[in-house]
Structure 1
Amino acid sequence: MKRVALWLISEVGEGNEFTKEQMRAAFPGVSQIDRRMRDLRSFGWRIDTNREDPRLTSAQQRFVTRGQPVWEKGMASRPASAPAIGAVRRREVISGDSNMCRSCGITPGQLYAGTFEGAQLDIARREVRLPGGASDVQLITECNRCRVGAKDLTADLSAVIDRAGALSSDDRELLAGWMDADERPFSPVERVWAEYRALPADARAALREFLGLA
């Protein structure tokens, strides 16, 4: 693991891509070199695959940032880390999240808008700020794209509870219906509004001109 860390720094460089074949060629005869590289993540090293960065192919990985200097004396002791998520637990989480990305709502294999890329779901760990100030790390289902943008996101449950408590009785009833269905139906005008917000500036101006608002 120490040798892999030094190889990443000296030969690959932060921000650059490499392949498993290049790494194996650099360490001929070393068994489980892939696992040694993955162990670095427990020491704060960020090494992305196409699960974290859809721009990478299945054969590519990217050395994003270095973590602890594991080659220094006393630095390679394994820190306390979250246990691996087993296959059974993974299925439970995805099923409990209605088999969809909780950030964008996409389902497995569904194509991202305007592309031929199908979504893949995975499990992310999300820090949740609880009432009273404590924090908890909980599991959530996200697609590859949303995981990239939400790595450092913290969910503030306390703030959400406060806002829910401030709703009127009618709004609470409406919210309860959405929660029971795990879906919010959007009206045609709301869908157009969401699509308008996602358009580039020139396209937004064209829509405003079409509606006589320019």
Structure 2
Amino acid sequence: MELPSWEDAKLGTMKRAALWLVSVVGEGNVFTKADLRDAFPGTSQIDRRMRDLRDHGWRLDTNREDARLDSHEQRFVTRGAAVWEPGMARVKSAPAISANRRREVISRDGNLCRCCGITPGEEYPDSYEKAQLDIARRTVAQPGGGTAIELVTECKRCRVGGRDLEVDGGKTLASLSRLGVMEKKILASWVAADQRDFGAVELLWAQYRTLPEESRLRFRAALDRATE
């Protein structure tokens, strides 16, 4: 089916912006604020109408979600509802998270990324980049069946990798029942402290896992010699 022209002035601004993304930018590609304003000269609130597409399932990443982007860039990742079709512009996805709700979730989650544990403003170990926290919607399989969307705090790096992640709450609870009494006590102490201190062997294992293949081979050879 042939798409309407994004230059058709009879269409609303949001519909034209969606068609421009599909027809001109293309999924996976980057566009700038200047590109957007050049395409829609004199159009008021074009930035807001572009953001409105997120409410219809369109994924537009900024440098908050994709660290490779500059502050003036966005990436058109995937298209959502065909808002230019009759009735589709009124069908919205999940409502936006309010500023108050965002603060509540971040505070509830200990003011840190629940995936990697980094705190806002803290530098990542491999760079001088400072972490920013945001709220992710996570699909969670429920113990009684079905799924629910729950909110969790993540840094922008972890959000990129975990955007489509679905977790199984029922499976997690079932795994708990298989632990021994001592293992449950150890786990309970970690949960109570909301952190776990890793031992020297575990830290070294984590470092080993990040090595390229050639370095892993050298490490294994040294370990074999040390354990003969």
Name the TM-score class by shorter chain.
over 0.9
- Contact conserved, 2:133 with 2:154, CA < 8 A, in 1? yes
1:49 pairs with 2:36: no
1:135 pairs with 2:155: no
Question: What is the distance in 1 between the residues matched to 2:225 and 2:16?
Answer: 62
TM-score of the two chains, using structure 1 as the length reference: 0.93
Q: Which ranges of structure 1 fall in alignment gaps of 5 or more residues?
A: none
- Contact conserved, 2:120 with 2:132, CA < 8 A, in 1? yes
Question: What is the distance in 1 between the residues matched to 2:131 and 2:111?
Answer: 12
Aligned to 2:75: 62
Aligned to 2:10: none
Aligned to 2:89: 76
Question: What is the distance in 1 between the residues matched to 2:147 and 2:86?
Answer: 33
Q: Name whichever of 109-118 and 51-60 sits farther off.
A: 109-118
Question: What is the distance in 2 between the residues matched to 1:82 and 1:54?
Answer: 25
1:108-127 to 2 correspondences below 5 Å: 108-127=120-139
Identity between Structure 1 and Structure 2 (%): 59
Q: Name whichever of 36-45 and 155-164 sits farther off.
A: 36-45
Question: What is the distance in 2 between the residues matched to 1:10 and 1:161?
Answer: 47
> How far apart are residue 114 of structure 1 and its match?
2.0
Question: What is the distance in 1 between the residues matched to 2:37 and 2:144?
Answer: 49
> How far apart are residue 49 of structure 1 and its match?
0.9
1:1-214 to 2 correspondences below 5 Å: 1-79=14-92, 81-213=93-225
**One-letter amino acid matched to 1:206:** R
Q: Which ranges of structure 2 fall in alignment gaps of 5 or more residues?
A: 1-13
The CA RMSD measured in Å over matched residues stands at 1.6
Q: Secondary structure at the match of 1:11?
A: helix
Question: What is the distance in 1 between the residues matched to 2:38 and 2:125?
Answer: 39
Question: What is the distance in 1 between the residues matched to 2:45 and 2:219?
Answer: 56
> How far apart are residue 44 of structure 1 and its match?
2.2
**One-letter amino acid matched to 1:204:** R
**One-letter amino acid matched to 2:31:** F
Q: Secondary structure at the match of 1:179?
A: helix
Question: What is the distance in 1 between the residues matched to 2:89 and 2:95?
Answer: 18
TM-score of the two chains, using structure 2 as the length reference: 0.88
Q: Secondary structure at the match of 1:142?
A: strand
**One-letter amino acid matched to 2:218:** A
> How far apart are residue 213 of structure 1 and its match?
4.9
**One-letter amino acid matched to 2:25:** V
> How far apart are residue 166 of structure 1 and its match?
1.3
> How far apart are residue 209 of structure 1 and its match?
3.1
Question: What is the distance in 1 between the residues matched to 2:79 and 2:180?
Answer: 49
Question: What is the distance in 2 between the residues matched to 1:75 and 1:94?
Answer: 33
